[in-house]
A and B are shown apart, each in its own frame.
Chain A
């Protein structure tokens, strides 16, 4: 019996005349790896942006860990345990790999005035880099990383704060097959350790392997929800992907 971690309730967003997300409602169960899929322009990233506070919803609201989030703001949500990655692997190129991890670990007001990278920070950064087998990159400026490495770094960084729920926006887009496997393995490991995932992804094979349940959006609305198998055979889904 698992609890509902994230509840999205009738979320709507319009850009001028276009309704990007339309009365969209869904739930994410604690401990799941939920996929959010849909054709291009179906409103997945817009939904992500509203859930994480980057975009103000026109109507509707979200609940996280049972609390109604009145005014979602990225930094508040992050501290409450909801974090996200971006499609284009946004890291801080001027900072070192270590600093990228340290800043994402969060800090108290007192620590704000303390050392840039404390001994404890170093230990945590090393630990997670070891898990990701990126120890050798510790001192490098993040600008020197390959694209795949940046995606891994961004992923590792959002884990630094021990989040409850992580939203991944196309974690494997544009990376090589080996890196896709690596990413998948890390997601599974973290999920086993208690982190819930909500993933936007275009690689359907990966979604079918990794995710359960799957939510399908089309033109801003939820059109299907279920196990990968159920969704795959849903006529509405087939029409959304093939027709139109």
Chain B
């Protein structure tokens, strides 16, 4: 029930982003910056996924399709030249809005279904997008891939613009998540998640809020995809529309805690380094998939609600135990008032 913008919350966000910003300036090693780019990227993806999967309770398994669409949109726009290298970043909002609008009909069709079928329809959408990326060879280059022109950045600080772009996107995703949860949109989404039929019955604008969540979530993911394409410079269908990226978003939100502001971020800062470690240790043998699956299973079996909700639950229970007696007494009087009232 934290409804106010608390000072603690602001300080937490301030410190977190200050730390992120300062790493390259302090001269962190290249591998660290590279790892951080992907960590922040996943944090932004997972936070964006959380707008739909966490807040609205619609666990999309197809979000990487929007990531891929954003990546291709960026790559196709800037295959020739990127000018000074900075202006392409300014095109990202256009991509975000365009993909957000494009996602509306997809969201409308898929969100007519619930739970399992929704997951299936979105995963189908992922396969559709991948098929298109492979086969619309005239546009995407098919299996040959598509390239982005290389920006004329100073090699010493080459990674910086991408890193800061990812940080900005993460901040926007978290900002939207924060705004949603403090507005009637978030309240409406909570009712959709808890009991959609009942939500209709009390006049909640269910379709509207679901579509808002879907489109914003998709648009954000597309912008992250754009920066990703710019950073790696060359994209192939199997990497731009990789089911593992979808699973990454979902898993990180699950680990940290769905529907919370910091859960997806926490999940990413745990899982991305772990993933990179696995990939480096077992990459050649594909065993990292096994390791990844194992981590996945451990989270589902032992932390089904995620780290943050589990912690806040424990805190709440402890506080409730302390207040328990007092509250019980209060509740009893609330019940007990009524009979006298009836007789009177």
Per the bound structure, the CA–CA distance linking A78 and B1 in Å amounts to: 28
Count chain B CB atoms within 10 A of each CB in A111, A113, A139 and give the residue with the most: A113
Q: Looking at the complex, which one of B188, B330, B331, B341 makes contact with A103 (CB distance below 8 Å)?
A: B188
A79-B203, A92-B198, A112-B209 as given contacts; A136 in contact with B191, CB under 8 Å = no
Per the bound structure, the CA–CA distance linking A227 and B188 in Å amounts to: 42
Q: Looking at the complex, which one of B185, B203, B339 makes contact with A106 (CB distance below 8 Å)?
A: B203
Q: Are A112 and B185 in contact (CB under 8 A)?
A: yes
Per the bound structure, the CA–CA distance linking A79 and B200 in Å amounts to: 10
Q: Are A137 and B334 in contact (CB under 8 A)?
A: yes
Q: Please report which residues of chain A, range 125-159, place their CB below 8 angstroms from some CB of chain B when the two chains form the complex.
A: 133-134, 136-137, 139, 141, 146, 148-149, 157-158
Closest beta carbon of chain A to B47's beta carbon, Å: 19
Chain A to chain B: the 3 pairs with minimum beta-carbon distance, closest first: A78-B203, A74-B200, A104-B202
Q: Please report which residues of chain A, range 75-112, place their CB below 8 angstroms from some CB of chain B when the two chains form the complex.
A: 75, 78-79, 83-84, 86, 90-96, 99, 102-104, 106-107, 109, 111-112
Neighbouring B residues of A22 by C-beta, 8 Å: none
Q: Looking at the complex, which one of B200, B333, B342 makes contact with A73 (CB distance below 8 Å)?
A: B200
B280 within 8 A of A: no
Neighbouring A residues of B7 by C-beta, 8 Å: none
Q: Are B187 and A103 in contact (CB under 8 A)?
A: yes
Q: Are A92 and B183 in contact (CB under 8 A)?
A: no
Q: Which residue of B lies closest to A135 (CB)?
A: B334
Q: Is the interface of A mostly helix, strand, loop or mixed?
A: mixed
Neighbouring A residues of B193 by C-beta, 8 Å: 94
| Residue ranges of A at the interface with B (Cβ–Cβ < 8 Å) | 52-54, 73-75, 78-79, 83-84, 86, 90-96, 99, 102-104, 106-107, 109, 111-117, 133-134, 136-137, 139, 141, 146, 148-149, 157-158, 161, 178-179, 181-182, 185
Q: Are A116 and B182 in contact (CB under 8 A)?
A: yes
Per the bound structure, the CA–CA distance linking A181 and B339 in Å amounts to: 8
- Total interface residues on B, using CB and 8 Å? 37
Q: Are A103 and B191 in contact (CB under 8 A)?
A: yes
Neighbouring B residues of A73 by C-beta, 8 Å: 200
Count: A-B pairs, CB below 8 Å: 121
B318 within 8 A of A: no
Per the bound structure, the CA–CA distance linking A52 and B199 in Å amounts to: 13
8 pairs of residues in contact across A and B, judged by CB atoms under 8 Å: A75-B204, A75-B206, A91-B198, A93-B194, A103-B188, A133-B337, A161-B202, A179-B338
Closest beta carbon of chain A to B2's beta carbon, Å: 11
Q: Looking at the complex, which one of B184, B202, B337 makes contact with A112 (CB distance below 8 Å)?
A: B184
Q: Are A94 and B194 in contact (CB under 8 A)?
A: yes
Count chain B CB atoms within 10 A of each CB in A73, A107, A109 and give the residue with the most: A107
Neighbouring B residues of A113 by C-beta, 8 Å: 183-185
A84-B201, A116-B183 as given contacts; A185 in contact with B195, CB under 8 Å = no
Closest beta carbon of chain A to B340's beta carbon, Å: 10
Neighbouring A residues of B195 by C-beta, 8 Å: 90, 92
A112-B183, A116-B183 as given contacts; A181 in contact with B342, CB under 8 Å = yes
Q: Which residue of A lies closest to B209 (CB)?
A: A112
Q: Are A178 and B200 in contact (CB under 8 A)?
A: no
A90-B195, A92-B191 as given contacts; A115 in contact with B184, CB under 8 Å = yes
Neighbouring B residues of A91 by C-beta, 8 Å: 198
Q: Please report which residues of chain B, range 173-225, place their CB below 8 angstroms from some CB of chain A when the two chains form the complex.
A: 181-188, 190-191, 193-195, 197-206, 208-209
Per the bound structure, the CA–CA distance linking A134 and B337 in Å amounts to: 10
Q: Are B201 and A182 in contact (CB under 8 A)?
A: no
Closest beta carbon of chain A to B316's beta carbon, Å: 9
A75-B200, A75-B203, A161-B203 as given contacts; A112 in contact with B188, CB under 8 Å = yes
Closest beta carbon of chain B to A17's beta carbon, Å: 26
Q: Which residue of A lies closest to B337 (CB)?
A: A133
Q: Are B206 and A95 in contact (CB under 8 A)?
A: no
Q: Are A112 and B203 in contact (CB under 8 A)?
A: no
B3 within 8 A of A: yes
Q: Looking at the complex, which one of A52, A114, A179 makes contact with B183 (CB distance below 8 Å)?
A: A114
Q: Which residue of B lies closest to A137 (CB)?
A: B334
Q: Looking at the complex, which one of B181, B200, B205, B330 makes contact with A136 (CB distance below 8 Å)?
A: B330
Neighbouring B residues of A90 by C-beta, 8 Å: 195, 197-198, 201
Per the bound structure, the CA–CA distance linking A117 and B3 in Å amounts to: 9
Q: Are A54 and B202 in contact (CB under 8 A)?
A: no
Q: Are A83 and B202 in contact (CB under 8 A)?
A: yes
Q: Which residue of B lies closest to A152 (CB)?
A: B338
Q: Are B184 and A111 in contact (CB under 8 A)?
A: yes
